Structures are given as C-alpha cells and as structure tokens.
Chain A
C-alpha cells in the first residue's frame, strides 16, 4: 500500500451485539484518527526507545559501558573548590526558558549536582531564574541536595531567586550581581538566547571561571569565546547522567550513541544512493511532516 496522506484507511470491526441477536458492522475512517504520514517518526522512536532500554538493562546487569570524558563536567567540582578557597559564591543559571523546555530541565538536573557539591563545601550558591515555575523546581532541587548532604540548616531559601520576567532585565540584574559580588565560578546550563554573550563576557570581565552548556548552535560560539569550558548540544543532556555515575543513567547515553551510528549510516547510504541517482525513494522515507 502506498504511503499517501490522502489515502483513507478503514477498519471494519464486526461485533456481536447480544441485544440484537445479530452482527453489527462499524466502520471507522482510520486516517481521521491515526497520522499515518508520521509512521516514519514512530519507527524511529520505537527503535530509539528499544536501544535506550536495552542498554539500560545491560547497565543494570553490570555490563561495563564506556563513557568518554567531558572536560567541562570534570571541571565543575574543581571550579566549586576554587570558589570555596576564594570564599566567593558560585553562580548557576539554569537557562532563561520555561520549565517545559527540556534544556531547562537538563539545567535544573545539573543544578542538583552542583548544589550537592556547594553543600558539601559550604560554598554560597546563587541561582537567579526568569520564570516562577523554574523557581519552584530549582528551590526543590537545591533544598533536596542540601538535605541529602546533611546540611539542611545551611540551606537558604533565597539561594534560588526570581529576578525578572524580561530577558534583558534579567540579564542586567545578573550582570550587576557578577560585577558587585564577583562570583568565583559561573555555570550556565540550559537555554540561552541573545543574552548569552552579555552574561559570559561580563563573567569573563569579573574574572570568574565559567562553564557553559547549551543545545542552541547559534549561541555556542559566544560561550566558546567567553567561557573556559563549554558543553555542546548533547553533552548538556548527558551531564546529569555523567555526573551521577549511575550505570542505569549511562545506559541511556549508550542507546543514544547507537542511534547516532544508525543515523550516520543512513546519511552515508543516502549520499551514495543520491550519487547513483536512486535516492528519491530512500529520502522520502525521512520526510518530515
């Protein structure tokens, strides 16, 4: 059957209806329910989920999984240690986007790890946020980190603070904080936009060690130019798993790598088929809707 979005699929369900003592036939226009034009995405998601679950299971069974070093994440503890020695605070910004963005969730996850280290060393931590939902989530994460490290009393409710809802008002406040308080370490993890360079350059001018991570390619050059370490794209999402050192978390990363190899193979195959003039059908398999 051709994969044509206009094709109408019918399912005929024959049901015995006892009350009528006979067979009643219901017909259903399947195309009005299921998006058959997105079947390629379903196949990819199924493959991806299977790979992640398989590697997670292997990790659970104790099979050793190799993870390459991410210098930016290895530097986090060192950077917090530096702040402790200098007696200055650590500034952490979990991006400036809402909590429904996966980049922000990744940022909040990393915040939990950083908060454990600051709790362990009794280093002041400041987390300015732009959205109230991020405020609530970050407060919960930081408080939990302090509790787990046995430092409940050291937790200050204003560690995580709402600063401003406007992008540049937020930036101005954080830049002012950097120049006044001169935090020893600035960590930017999450979604950043035009303010990325304003923040990173100010932090650089303040002499802070800076570690950034974002999945937005258009902001990466700014962070690379102004920060000491930068996590690029997928490294941001891998960070919480990497820092946790938990095998079941790293299983997901290996599943991700497997799909990357599959995609690379598809790209090479597609290039070869296009060169041979037979790529149309193959390319149509990846049509996005």
Chain B
C-alpha cells in the first residue's frame, strides 16, 4: 500500500496532465482536472512551508544548544527568521508596522537588508567567472587553444569597444562570428543538448507514470 498508492496517484495524475495537453482545457473535464491538480500542487506546497520552518529551526537550535563552532551565526539566523516572519503574519490593522505593505517591518527588512545582500551575492559572480574562465581557457591542449581563441573573439565582439576594434580589420568579423560561431557551432551543440535533455525528461516521465521508475520514492 505504501508503494502502490503513490504509484497509482502518479499514474492517474500523469495521464491526466498528458491528456490535458491534447484537449481544450476550458471545455473538457480532463483540462479542468489538470488545472485543479496544478492548484492542489500550489496549496500543498504552501502547507509544506511549515516543514521548512521546522527543519531550519531544529537544525539551528540544535547547533546553538551544543555550542557548535559558529553558533552565534545560528542565533542570528533564528532571530532573522523571527524578525521577518512574525511581523509579516500579524494583521496590518493592528499597526502599520505589521503585514507586508509599504512601511512595514517586513518591507523595511526586505528592501534594506535582504535585497542588498542578494544583489551582493549575485555581483560576486563576476569574480567567480574570472577565476573559472582562467582555468577553462588555459591553453593546455590544441582543443583548449581553439576554445581560448574563439572565446576571446566572441568576448571582444560582445562589448562595444571590442566590436569597434574588430571592425578595424577587413572583412565582417563580427558578422562571421555571429553566423558561424554563435548561430552555427554554438547553436547546433545547444540544440543537440536540448533535444537529448527533452527526450531524457520525457523518458523519465514515462517511467514514472508507468511505475517503472520508483527511485524518487526511495524504492527500486
């Protein structure tokens, strides 16, 4: 029963979603059913948020209790959870500081702390790209050398100053890069990967719908 019920649910839901693609979603039962299933997914997802809060609180609380290395940061994490969640769930009719509207505690923390921190993390990507590019473009072999030359040309073409520099040379180098590298070799490889991935995803979906693949439940 522990395995049969999930497999049966996966089969019925999967078949409904596949059929819904071929039937009008507004006028047919199967179309409406698929929309209903997607709504249920959102509802269940909302309820499971509680699991996440319990998990993060338990893990951090345990580290604080045991005074594990860096436990002070765990205290900060727990305080941050409380500071963001509690004022946001309280009714804004009690105070303008509650809720999630403009001027609330949640809004202030989001704009002044969370957003800058997210932006900072994203901005550090530039440095990571530089170090990864250095490793990837080291001319250790003939293939790596070709990659280095190609990448240099494409990067030059992608910045206005570099494009102006390439235009100094005879022949339409930016046009050639666009036609043969970006829309030629690069696009062909990307499409190859996408076709393979789409087929792989379809095959896996089919295995799940038919109950052949049960590894996502820890079985098999």
Contact = CB atoms under 8 A, between A and B. Distances in A.
Given A233-B200, A236-B200, A166 B213 contact: no
Interface in A147-166: 148, 158, 161-166
A124 interface: no
A197 B69 CA distance: 27
Interface stretch (A17-25, A138-146, A274-282): A138-146
Contacts of A249: 207, 212-213, 220
Contacts of B92: none
Given A35-B22, A169-B117, A112 B56 contact: no
Contact of A217 (B22, B69, B117, B193): B193
B48 A158 contact: no
A100 B205 CA distance: 11
A15 B190 CA distance: 54
Q: Which 4 A-B pairs have the closest CB atoms?
A: A144-B218, A237-B200, A234-B200, A233-B197
Interface of A: 32-35, 38, 41-42, 45, 48-49, 52-53, 56, 98, 100, 102-103, 105-106, 108-109, 112-113, 131-133, 135-137, 140-145, 148, 158, 161-169, 171-172, 180, 194, 197-198, 200-201, 215, 217, 220-222, 224-226, 232-238, 240-241, 244, 246, 248-249, 252-253, 255-256, 259-260, 263
Given A161-B55, A244-B220, A252-B206, 8 more contacts: A38-B22, A48-B206, A112-B216, A137-B216, A148-B218, A162-B51, A197-B125, A215-B193
Interface of B: 18, 21-24, 27-28, 41, 44-45, 48-53, 55-56, 58-59, 62, 69-70, 114, 117-118, 121-122, 124-125, 128-129, 131-133, 135-136, 190, 193-197, 199-208, 210, 212-213, 215-220
